[in-house]
Amino acid sequence: MHHFAYRNGVMHCEDVSLEAVARELGTPAYVYSDATLRRHYQVLADAFADRKTLIAFAVKANSNIGVLATLASVGAGADVVSGGELLRALEAGIPADRIVFSGVAKTEAEMRLGLSKGIFQFNVESLPELRRLSRIAEEMGKRAPIAFRVNPHVEAGGHAHISTGTPENKFGIAWHEAESFYEEASRLPNIEPVGVAVHIGSQIMRVEPMRAAWEKVVSLTRRLRDRGFNITRVDFGGGLGVPYKDGEDPDSPIIYARQVREALGNLDVQLVIEPGRLIAGNAGVLISRVEYVKERDGRTFVILDAGMNDLMRPALYAAHHEVLPVRTPEMGSARRAVDLVGPICESTDRFAKDRPMPPLKEGDLVAFMTAGAYGATLSSQYNSRPLVAEALVRGDACVVIRRRPTFEEMIALERAPDWIASG
């Protein structure tokens, strides 16, 4: 469910026409719906209302301060994977005690930051990381609440590049070593082992593989408790998929919540979940303008002003986005197969091949649907293109939540070495 729909032949985000946004902001630009973001959070919050649950939004999915502040205002926590994401979450008003720090490579500085802010928990992924955290916590006179992220040896995820729960992935600690790691953690005075965490991948359409991983976490938690560890939290990660095209029908948040509940059984713990895509995915679109239509060698290339630097998912893992004309095509106009490509000098800068599209001509606007997660966060300035702009809509109001940088801003951190001038 989202708030993008055609009105009088023009696609709107809530009550704002995407043509108006393009006029105001230029293209390419991401546009997010406040109502969709809040609704998705609320559906999950309602589904888990009967138990103590921290819904920690995975900031990597969409880290814009405007989006994070929206989610903070309805009570979301955050799952962060860098000091930068942690600072963003705090800046957006998410309290430290609702922030989980994930990631395989936390630096000393990031650990210090997390400890000084008093975050909810560190999800630890190796013994060297545990020992480093222990040392830093000791230096700071703090105790670090931790969960080990276990690798449950369960395969899932919409693409091999977003599957994280198998032995060849770098993520998590080995399943069979978990108990001995908790032993070691409990011997460290500045470490407080409080939870068990898991995350097996992203864009997972059926809950079953996740449930298999959760059940492993539940049984490990029970064993740890039997051995006297005070494990009070389980973190079931994120991963539930969203539909990117017609016919895709992922399990609903309601089914997800029911399966979580069944997997937990009567285990009395605080639940943490880390949804990203589920909350932000279809809360955003990317609008782009057709620069050229080029016919060559029997192919039609619709060349857009958005490139893989603005939306990397298709180039990165062959992801599909529906691309719709912002203005509905004339009645009866035939579709024909075109390649939708961007301006970047890379062959992978192609959003779709042989995609049946209604007639498109120079200047027309299109919208990439379901682009609110892993869209703007993966954008870059490759080919020295300015970072894509972002706007947030509420009702008939539209605010720019990231403006396009100027050329001067883009090069402000760079300089030519002095030796060039001195000859």
Ligand X SMILES: Cc1ncc(COP(=O)(O)O)c(C=O)c1O
The interface mask with ligand X, positions 271-300, x = CB under 6 A, is ---xxxxx----------------------
The interface mask with ligand X, positions 60-79, x = CB under 6 A, is xx-----------------x
Tokens coding 119: 């975050």
CB of 61 to ligand X, least distance (A): 5
Q: Which entry of 1, 334, 345, 421 is annotated as an active-site residue?
A: 345
CB of 238 to ligand X, least distance (A): 3
User: Would you count residue 58 as binding ligand X (CB under 6 A)?
Assistant: yes
CA distance 373 to 381: 18
CA-nearest of 418, 417, 412, 352 to 381 is: 412
When binding is defined by CB under 6 A, the residue of 202, 282, 370, 379 that contacts ligand X is 202
Instruction: Give 250's contacts (C-beta < 8 A, 6+ positions apart).
Output: 204, 205, 206, 240, 241, 242, 243
Is 345 a catalytic site residue?
A: yes
User: Would you count residue 114 as binding ligand X (CB under 6 A)?
Assistant: no
CA distance 335 to 294: 16
CB-wise, 167 or 423, nearer to ligand X?
167
On whether the CB atoms of residues 287 and 326 are closer than 8 A, the answer is: yes
CB of 405 to ligand X, least distance (A): 27
On whether the CB atoms of residues 266 and 254 are closer than 8 A, the answer is: no
Amino acid at residue number 308: M
DSSP one-letter string for 355-392:
EEE----TT-EEEESS-SSSSGGG---GGGPPPPEEEE
The interface mask with ligand X, positions 360-399, x = CB under 6 A, is -------------x--------------------------
DSSP one-letter string for 312-348:
-HHHHH-----EEESBPPPTTPPPEEEEEE-SSSSTT
CB of 376 to ligand X, least distance (A): 14
User: Would you count residue 209 as binding ligand X (CB under 6 A)?
Assistant: no
CB of 217 to ligand X, least distance (A): 14
Task: Provide the 10 A C-beta neighbour count for residue 387.
Answer: 17
Footprint (CB under 6 A) of ligand X, residues 218-257: 237-239
Q: Name the residues annotated as catalytic.
A: 345
Binding site for ligand X (CB under 6 A): 58, 60-61, 79, 102, 199, 202, 237-239, 274-278, 373
